Amino acid sequence: MENPLLSDQVLPSFSKIKVDHIEPAMCQVIAENEKMLKALIAEEYVILDWDNLITVLDNMEDRLTNIWSTISHLYSVKNSSELRIIYDRCQSMVTEYSTNLSQNKPLYDRIIALATRCEELNLTESQKKVIEDYQLDFRLAGVDLESKQKQQFKQIEKQLNQQSNRFSNNVLDATHAWSKHVTDAKQLRGIPELALETASTTAKQKGLDGHLLTLDFPCYNAVTTYADSEELRREIYTAFVTRASAESEYDDEWNNEAVINEILQLRKEKAAILGYENFAELSLAKKMAGSADKVLVFLNDLIAKGRPVAEKEFEELEEYAGSLGQSELQAWDVAYYSEKLRKKQYDVSSEEIREYFPITRVKQGLFSIVEQLYGVTVKSNGKYDTWHPSVKGYDIYRDDKLIARFFMDLYTRENKRSGAWMAECRSRRELDDGTIALPAAYLVCNFTEGTNKQPSLLTHIEVTTLFHEFGHTLHHLLTIESNLRVSGINGVAWDAVELPSQLMENWCWDKEAIQLISSHYETGQPLPEQMLEKMLAARNFQAGMKIVRQLEFGLFDFSLHVGLDQLEPGYVRETILQARQKTAVYPAPEFNRFENSFSHIFAGGYAAGYYSYFWAEVLSADVFSRFKKKAFLMPRQAENFWEKF
């Protein structure tokens, strides 16, 4: 029977892919690639050029990446115990293959030789960038190490991937293990109707009456922001911030403390074996910032400017809560009283605004904005095979020509990773026959799905999240590069990769754009002018508190990886407490173990790189200032940005 992962179809055939297909497909492609590699380095006397070296490597990389990205995507959105076992085995294979490739000295020598012929061969700037990146990747994989050290490096890489997977699975399992069955509606007073309907549906799916609360973020956020019961807010907050820790009610079953220490020890060893002072310096080898000192100065400067504002905001919140009889604000009270204060100051609530942002209207408006900015057309394509009935496929056209494809998976569900992200499905590249393989992407969020009574309605924060992730999607899909390693998001410095996403967020606050993405889900009426003005006025409500919260994460991450020579029991805990001492304007409870579920840095690509969100935000503010000088939907400015970036 044909293995769907090995077919040459434009997009994956998700309905045909079984777990049993994964390992055979990976084994076959890796074996074929290794055979091609042997042939490539055996041709000692071939005069090297782009086609007989880089194009061959691209062909090898593209086929493996297309299969592995499909498997990795399913691992994130359709996780299962069976898939985990196969995924772990295959990731070890991929790690070993990739490390062997990047430590191959004869291949490295050929890359170096080709680099000396760039001018002779009249290579483009893109091609030169590819060759430069290859050389750096080889060095960061230990190509110059002695044989024994190369083996040590391979083992470190293998173990790092295993521990990162374990961390991610522990967070997923801990999140989905907790629930609270509520049969007394009085306990749920204050929680919005949509959240209650979702909790009721969740209970029915489990054969229960009443409501079932979970730690999926839409439910957690609704309870902590609106539930009148302080006891309920405290209970769900406690469960959320102790996930995957010894402080949770599940003891050590999914405790990530040892996993974190193992990951950090391995990162310390990796940096040392490559000759870097610490892991932060190693991480910065492929980032814009350049040095750890620059990053720390950058973060501390933002803290110095942001904390006084945040302190003033929190004092105002304390005073307001006190006027309502709350003598002392706890961490689980902050969102609740903040929402009440915003309502008082601006006479607008997130739930009132939500009614004007049904997901269908938001998507239509988003596509319309992008069409006006970039001269493209987004069309739904119901023919694409998907991994879940709620997932939708789309095509992007420019001048009536198909240029890209993407999938949208917007709703939270069991066995799906939390958060929001964009991931590569296919990259744009020129094939051997001169045709162009079109790029494709996965856009994933975790919004609340609609019910029988209401469609999916987004808060304005969720609208901003969707725009953010679509910015990443556009970055990957609107590329005009045809060289694999600099196409789309490939080859972009990590601390610049958030620029297009944060740039897109600006249109969520533009009056003209808001009219395109909003209308009441029942009446179809536009967002009232008065409500719009209040929403815009409230844009910077508690902006200081939000900024220092993110700076806490960034400072913790970077300090953690700069100081790994101090790694010993208690180091991680001490580092996050020090970061909070510098940034936090209200104390986190002693039991808070946020670090144990900080997937960005322990199971994602943001280790010693969480500062990138702020770094790229500064860049995106500079870019957006060009739009503000003109009309916000100015195609000429967007075209200029698209061409340059």
Q: Please identify every residue annotated as catalytic.
A: 469
Q: Tell me the H-state helices in 206-283.
A: 217-226, 230-241, 257-273, 279-283
Question: What does the alpha-carbon distance between residue 225 and residue 600 come to, in Å, rounded to a whole number?
Answer: 24
Question: What does the alpha-carbon distance between residue 394 and residue 407 come to, in Å, rounded to a whole number?
Answer: 6
The answer to whether 446 and 420 have CB atoms below 8 angstroms apart is yes
DSSP classification of residue 5: G
Question: What does the alpha-carbon distance between residue 299 and residue 302 come to, in Å, rounded to a whole number?
Answer: 5
Question: How is residue 627 written in tokens?
Answer: 């739009």
Q: Which amino acid is at 485?
A: R
The answer to whether 125 and 109 have CB atoms below 8 angstroms apart is no
DSSP classification of residue 492: -
Percent helix, strand, coil in the chain, to 5, is: 60, 10, 30
First vs last C-alpha separation in the chain: 44
The answer to whether 472 and 500 have CB atoms below 8 angstroms apart is yes
HEC-encoded secondary structure of 103-133: CCHHHHHHHHHHHCCCCCCCCCHHHHHHHHH
- Comparing CA positions, the residue from 572, 568, 446, 420 lying closest to residue 505 is 420
Question: How is residue 595 written in tokens?
Answer: 């670090």
The SS3 call for residue 451 is coil
HSE value, Cβ hemisphere, 13 Å, CA-based, for 473: 29
